[in-house]
Structure 1
Amino acid sequence: MYYVNREQISVRLAVIPDVAGAMRALSQQWRGELLQGLAQERALHLAIEIVTDVGSYIIDGFIMRDASSYEDIIDIIAEEGVFPGEVKEAVMELVKLRKPLVQDYFAWPAGELHPLTIALPDVLEQFKRSVEAYVLQELGS
């Protein structure tokens, strides 16, 4: 029997529409201003935390192998069929931004629109739908 913390997965997935919406707005209105740069960094950072937190809850709840890194979290849940391959590629690219955003923030090119800011809204929404479908398939209602 699995104990999957559906509540914690749900509250994290519920943030995705706001993060995706912010990324869409930034992409459409980008002028490279300081506040836009900071908003982009925060949106990317939140996206990273959401996918890794959700991935960790899935790994723990479904008793999958232990992850050794943020990238490994994505590999494990992708191998288990939580989401399709095209989502994995984009989410893996996202997770690799954690170190530059969190540790090397002083070198982050804040005035540039990152390509993931444009691509991620649809990917994040697909990630959300895929996780919800996986949990429902594995546990039922």
Structure 2
Amino acid sequence: MYYVNREQIAERLAAVPAAAEGMSQLAEAWDGTLLQGLAQERALHIAIEIVTDVGSCLIDGFMMRDASSYEDIIDITGAEGVFPAEIRERLLELVKLRKPLVQDYYKWNRSELHPLTPILPHVLTVFRESVEGYLSRELF
């Protein structure tokens, strides 16, 4: 029997709409201001945390093999069929941004729209729906 903390997963997935909407608004109105740059950084960081937190909960709850990195969280959950293969590469690109955003923030170019920002609203929505579907299938 698995112990999957569905409440913790649901709380994190509930942050997807705000992160996705924020990224959509940034992409549509981008003019490179400092405020937009800082907002984009935070939106990307939130997206990373959602994906890795949810992935870690799934790995722990379903007793999947241990992850050794953020990329590994994506690889493991992707291999288990948590989300469709077509979003795997985008999720990997996303989690690879954690170090630049969190540790090398002083080097981050705040004046440019990151290429993932306009794409992530769709990716995050698919991720959320896929995780919810996976939980429904596995825990019926």
Q: Deviation at 1:60?
A: 0.2
Q: Distance in 2 between matches of 1:39 and 1:69?
A: 26
One-letter amino acid of the counterpart of residue 41, structure 2: E
Q: Distance in 1 between matches of 2:103 and 2:85?
A: 28
- 1:26 pairs with 2:26: yes
Unaligned runs of 5+ in 2: none
Q: Distance in 2 between matches of 1:88 and 1:11?
A: 22
Q: Distance in 2 between matches of 1:3 and 1:20?
A: 29
- 1:6-60 deviations in Å (ceiling 9; x for gaps): 0000000000000000000000000000000000000000000000000000000
TM-score (norm 1): 0.99
Aligned twin of 1:51: 51
Q: Distance in 1 between matches of 2:86 and 2:27?
A: 21
Aligned twin of 2:3: 3
Superposed structure 1 runs of 4+ greater than 6 Å apart: none
How much is the aligned-residue C-alpha RMSD, in angstroms? 0.4
Q: Deviation at 1:86?
A: 1.2
* Identity between Structure 1 and Structure 2 (%): 68
Aligned twin of 2:100: 100
Aligned twin of 2:72: 72
Q: Deviation at 1:104?
A: 0.5
> May I ask how many residue pairs the two structures share in their alignment?
140
Aligned twin of 1:114: 114
- Greater shift, 21-30 or 83-92, is seen at 83-92
Q: Distance in 1 between matches of 2:109 and 2:86?
A: 26
Q: Deviation at 1:101?
A: 0.4
Q: Distance in 1 between matches of 2:44 and 2:99?
A: 12
